Structure 1
């Protein structure tokens, strides 16, 4: 397949799946199996285009991020609570991810793990949706200490490829009594430090590959970055309104169907 076309397709996959609970990493791993390209050659590409998705969050919520940052500098209570909650949500997976990164890299090479994780995650979403009564919206800054930390612990589950970072954080938040809109937005905000940290660590670990020029070129990286940014921005703008009205069950059934199809396809290859 043409390199630019592959970059566009992967950028679309990243943008579509990063912020909805279906696992962007899992989709990229399965895409490598489906399209037959060399996944190792595209490892750095997959890391960098995640930054395009992060940029979409910054653009969409720049006013909230700006006012919260100013609030921290001025020691305003709302700004400090926002920063506290973001830190509590980020630290557990940051510490565990750094400690287990070698094991995580091994899991990234297993499409079978991804397929089963997609199914398990879909079942978990259906269970949470059935068990939890939607709560009133409070806003990220007004989440109490225990909810923010609980979401951070839930995010650790996403270290397994196919679980979905957004799925783990949103379902964890709902289970702890956070409203759907607030849960989705907290997941978006958590993506910024989490994905920046994970991307930086991956790039450091692959610095020799970057220095040698191995992998795809920077033209493909730029194309994938731009496509991921545009698609993710559209998804973010549509997602909050959608889940506020319809919930997360459609994503759960999609996960289960995709995981089952992937298991059958991998068995028949």
Structure 2
């Protein structure tokens, strides 16, 4: 299979999975394993296409992101979504990431650990769906600082590959009395600083692995991820109101079983 086709396939996988509760990292590891695209170059490629997905969220929520630079609501103690919400949502995972990133990449970026993460994340999703209380926050502007911090703590679970950052944060949001839409949109927004920080650092460390010949492959993966992520986010929000998270949990379990039976055994 040509590398350009591999780039296109993985770009689709990243765009679809990054902001859905199914684990983009897990899917990239599993699909990369099936396609035989692994190693340091593959990891660098994954970093680049994740930036494409981040750009999609930046475009979709540009007005909300610009509003974060307005500190008046924060200074006036207005009940409005502001930068402090994002800081509280990002800080716990940022600390965990700094402390564990190298260890996680060294020991946990393996197909069998992804399978474990897929199942564990599915259990959390099913638990959140069953135990979630009635929501009290139906928009980002109704989100409290306590809810933001709670969701940020749940995001720490995503340090384990396959667990899913979106799955952990949206589940945490539901348990913290946020609506599906509020939990999802907050999950999308706090993904930006986390992913920019992690991918930026990884890209800098991997700079010596990049050559001019990589540009076509990386460009296709980046653009595909961007376009697919734009469509996936809009579609996901519509489906979430109808279906909830449960179908995604079952999908994760089925995927873990199939991969174990046909690849790992």
Please classify the TM superposition score into its range, dividing by the shorter chain length: over 0.9
CA–CA distance in 1 between the matches of 2:124 and 2:86? 24
Does residue 62 in structure 1 map to residue 72 in structure 2?
A: no
CA–CA distance in 2 between the matches of 1:110 and 1:74? 43
| Counterpart pick for 1:249 among 246, 249, 252 | 246
CA–CA distance in 2 between the matches of 1:54 and 1:225? 10
CA–CA distance in 2 between the matches of 1:159 and 1:144? 25
Does residue 232 in structure 1 map to residue 233 in structure 2?
A: no
Q: Deviations over 1:198-225 (max 9, x none)?
A: 1112123323334xx39x7011111111
What secondary structure does 1:250 align onto?
A: helix
Q: Which residue of 2 aligns with 1:173?
A: 173
CA–CA distance in 1 between the matches of 2:264 and 2:199? 32
Change (3 A) 1:111 1:80: same
Q: Deviations over 1:38-57 (max 9, x none)?
A: 34221111001111111111
Preserved CA contact (<8 Å) 1:112 1:266: no
Deviation, 1:136, is 4.1
Preserved CA contact (<8 Å) 2:74 2:84: no
Matches within 5 A, 1:18-57: 18-57=18-57
CA–CA distance in 1 between the matches of 2:80 and 2:246? 34
Q: Which residue of 2 aligns with 1:86?
A: 86
Does residue 193 in structure 1 map to residue 190 in structure 2?
A: no
Change (3 A) 1:97 1:140: same
Q: Which residue of 1 aligns with 2:9?
A: 9
What secondary structure does 1:217 align onto?
A: helix
Please tell me the root mean square deviation across aligned C-alpha atoms, in Å. Answer: 2.0
Q: Which residue of 2 aligns with 1:116?
A: 116
Preserved CA contact (<8 Å) 2:12 2:228: yes
Preserved CA contact (<8 Å) 1:107 1:161: no
Aligned residues: 265
TM-score (norm 2): 0.93
Deviation, 1:102, is 1.5
CA–CA distance in 2 between the matches of 1:79 and 1:205? 41
Task: Return 5+ residue gaps in structure 2 as ranges.
Answer: none
Deviation, 1:254, is 0.2
TM-score (norm 1): 0.92
Does residue 261 in structure 1 map to residue 258 in structure 2?
A: yes
CA–CA distance in 2 between the matches of 1:137 and 1:27? 31
CA–CA distance in 1 between the matches of 2:114 and 2:202? 19
Change (3 A) 1:76 1:226: farther
CA–CA distance in 2 between the matches of 1:114 and 1:74? 40
Preserved CA contact (<8 Å) 1:23 1:165: yes
CA–CA distance in 1 between the matches of 2:4 and 2:79? 42
CA–CA distance in 1 between the matches of 2:156 and 2:201? 16
Q: Which residue of 1 aligns with 2:202?
A: 202
